[in-house]
């Protein structure tokens, strides 16, 4: 497809939902709010603020209302939240959530483990949630988990993914996110799945969501861009995972992806220096080292001062060169 310089790409941050749900200790609400306020200034299209699930299921996000109500909203940012059922939808509406992000797995086993329902039961429930959103004129995105493989079932057939995307499109949702929940995707597969979804649903906002479990997050991102995807989920510092997916680890890191895409000439609209600063604050909040690399190394063109002995290195090199030339002249003068 026509990927190239200056192609605008929309970046969605999921660290405060996908990321925080995996952190061992509870992140205080005030700290979550301060981080989201900081992120709001950095150029994101969307921030997934929290999740309106049950506190027993995801205790790390039990302060969803408080956080959603207190953040300072920037007009160009969509503040979305994960909504698992009608109860969650009612809670989300009460605190003016801009978009509902519904979740269902493309894998039957993962859906049962994560949501305790068959996919058909989930679909019926999400139909009701989408109706609630429609009545409130709130847009709906569906995040389909395990699109590129399931940690319990193995391969997930592309035709089955397409069938679920078709069914959600027929419900009238605005967007679908193709999630590589446990980092099983690889570039040629990403290319095929993304092209087939986009080919069938040119009007759907299709987002890609990659975890970096097997270090393929960046190459999968490139494959998706080249297949025509223009919206991406990612998480600051590469935090994240899924509590019900064995082997899952963090999303591909926002600062790593943005750095790569900007080097390649894509227009993400993001402030990389701000992201690196925010990653530093995030590391203090979570209390452990982050998996991201650019937050440690900085931009590729960051200038490091030469070592203190640089001048003497140069002088010695120049002196050697002068001696060589002088020696050469002497050699030339010899009979």
Using CB under 5 A, list all residues that contact Zn ion.
Answer: 18
- Counting contacts by CB under 6 A, is residue 109 touching ligand COA? no
The stretch among 113-121, 156-164, 191-199, 270-278 that binds ligand COA (CB under 6 A) is 113-121
Q: By CB under 6 A, tell whether 114 contacts ligand COA.
A: yes
Residue from 53, 101, 249, 283 in contact with ligand COA (CB under 6 A): 53
What count of Cα atoms within 13 Å lies in the side-chain half-sphere of residue 302? 12
Per the annotation, the verdict on 146 as an active-site residue is: no
CA count, 13 A, side-chain hemisphere, 277 = 10
84 binds, among ligand COA, Zn ion, none (CB under 5 to 8 A by kind): ligand COA
Binder of ligand COA out of 25, 87, 124, 296 (CB under 6 A): 87
Residue nearer to Zn ion on the CB measure, 18 or 108: 18
242 binding ligand COA? (CB under 6 A): yes
Q: Could you give the residue ranges of the DSSP H alpha helices within 137-204?
A: 158-171, 187-200
- State which residue, 83 or 258, has the beta carbon closest to ligand COA: 83
Among 117, 169, 177, which Cα is nearest to 142's?
A: 177
Residue pair 111/122 in contact (Cβ under 8 Å)? The answer is yes
Specify the DSSP class assigned to residue 17.
I
Give, in order, the Cα–Cα distances in Å from 173 to each of 54, 137, 141, 142, 258.
24, 12, 6, 7, 28
For residue 213, the partner it binds in Zn ion, ligand COA, none, with Cβ less than 5 to 8 A by kind, is none
Question: Closest separation between CB of residue 95 and ligand COA, Å?
Answer: 13
Judged by CB under 6 A, does residue 72 bind ligand COA?
Answer: no
The DSSP code for 304 is P
Residue among 4, 48, 27, 33 nearest 254 (CA): 48
103 binds ligand COA (CB under 6 A): yes
Residue reference for tokens 């193709």: 178
Taking the least distance from each CB to ligand COA, the nearer of 64 and 278 is 64
- If the CB atoms of residues 60 and 225 are measured against ligand COA, the closer one turns out to be 60
Does 124 interact with ligand COA (rule: CB under 6 A)?
Answer: no
Q: What is the largest CA-CA distance in the chain?
A: 101
Mapped onto helix, strand or coil, the DSSP state of residue 270 is: coil
> Which among 243, 267, 144 has a CA at the least distance from the CA of 201?
144
Contacts (CB under 6 A) with ligand COA, residues 142-181: 145
- DSSP 8-state secondary structure symbol assigned to residue 16: I
User: Radius of gyration (Cα) for the chain, nearest Å?
Assistant: 24
State which of positions 264-303 bind ligand COA (CB under 6 A): none
Segment lying near ligand COA (by CB under 6 A), choices 49-57, 65-73, 162-170, 315-323: 49-57
Interaction between residue 88 and ligand COA (CB under 6 A): yes
Catalytic-role residue among 95, 146, 194, 242: 242
Write the DSSP string, 51-107: E-S-TTT-GGGTTHHHHHHHSPPPTT-EEEEE--SHHHHHHHHHTT-SEEEEEEESS
Cβ at position 81, least distance to ligand COA in Å: 11
Measured from the CB atom, the residue of 234 and 270 that comes closer to ligand COA is 234
- Residue with the CB atom nearest Zn ion in the bound state: 18
Q: Which residue of 12, 16, 50, 51 would you call a contact of ligand COA, by CB under 6 A?
A: 51
First to last CA, the chain: 70
User: What residues line the site for ligand COA (CB under 6 A)?
Assistant: 21, 51-54, 56-58, 82, 84-85, 87-88, 91, 103, 114-116, 145, 242
Tell me which residues are annotated as active site: 242
């Amino acid at each position: 497809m026509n990927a190239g310089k200056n192609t605008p790409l929309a970046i969605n941050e999921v660290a405060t939902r996908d990321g925080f749900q995996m952190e061992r200790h509870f992140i205080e609400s005030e700290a979550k709010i301060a981080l989201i306020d900081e992120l709001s200034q950095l150029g994101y299209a969307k921030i997934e603020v929290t999740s309106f699930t049950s506190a027993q299921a995801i205790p790390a996000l039990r302060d969803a209302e408080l956080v959603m109500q207190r953040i300072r909203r920037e007009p160009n940012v969509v503040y979305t939240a994960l909504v698992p059922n009608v109860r969650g939808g009612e809670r989300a509406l009460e605190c003016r959530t801009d978009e509902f992000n519904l979740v269902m797995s493309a894998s039957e086993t993962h859906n049962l483990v994560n949501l305790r329902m068959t996919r058909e039961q989930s679909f019926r429930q999400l139909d009701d949630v989408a109706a609630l959103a429609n009545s409130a004129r709130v847009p709906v995105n569906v995040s389909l988990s395990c699109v590129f493989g399931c940690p319990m079932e193995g391969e997930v057939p592309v035709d089955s993914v397409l069938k679920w995307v078709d069914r959600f499109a027929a419900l009238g949702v605005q967007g679908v996110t193709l999630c590589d929940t446990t980092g099983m995707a690889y570039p040629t597969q990403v290319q095929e799945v993304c092209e087939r979804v986009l080919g069938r649903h040119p009007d759907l906002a299709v987002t890609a969501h990659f975890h970096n479990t097997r270090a393929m997050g960046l190459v999968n991102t490139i494959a998706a861009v080249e297949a025509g995807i223009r919206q991406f989920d990612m998480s600051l510092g590469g935090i994240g995972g899924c509590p019900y997916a064995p082997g899952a680890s963090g999303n591909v890191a926002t600062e790593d992806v943005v750095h790569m895409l900007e080097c390649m000439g894509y227009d993400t609209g993001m402030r990389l220096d701000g992201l690196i600063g925010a990653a530093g604050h995030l590391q203090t909040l979570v209390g452990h080292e982050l998996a991201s690399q650019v937050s440690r190394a900085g931009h590729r063109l960051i200038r490091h001062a030469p070592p203190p002995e640089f001048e003497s290195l140069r002088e010695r090199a120049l002196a050697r060169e002068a001696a060589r030339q002088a020696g050469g002249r002497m050699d030339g003068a010899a009979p």
